[in-house]
Amino acid sequence: MEDTAIKHLKETFIENRSKRVLDIGTGVGNFIFLLNQLEYPFEEIIGIDTSQRAIDMAKNYLTDQKNVKLMVMDGNHQTFSDELFDVVTLSNSLHHLDDMTQIHSA
């Protein structure tokens, strides 16, 4: 039986026709792995994190997920163009933020 939270997450992506996702503070890639388990046709999921070690671990963990790109980058100083992503996610990372007022809408 599909978990209610997972079902709601998938319905949200379907409702918003989300194709491109930016995952800030991706860590070792757990949330990206979960996203790809939704069996939703994402065009691209980009995960960024300030830790090279975490990105390296995520690359090893997500080796077979072709729609995923991972890079070292600070979410507060990301270099993507405006409106490139349909959804920006931040999962299990709020405790790492020093100043919640620095979070900007994508």
Q: Which CATH number fits domain 4-76: 3.50.30.40, 3.40.50.1220, 3.40.50.150, 1.20.1260.10?
A: 3.40.50.150
* 98 pLDDT above the threshold of 90: no
Write out pLDDT tens, residues 15-40.
888 899 999 999 999 999 999 888 88
Is pLDDT at 85 greater than 90 in this prediction? yes
- Sorted by where each begins, the domain ranges of the chain are 4-76
- The alpha carbon of 15 is separated from its chain's Cα centroid by a whole number of angstroms, namely 18
* Joined tokens for residue 23: 């995952």
Cross-strand bridge partners of residue 20: 44
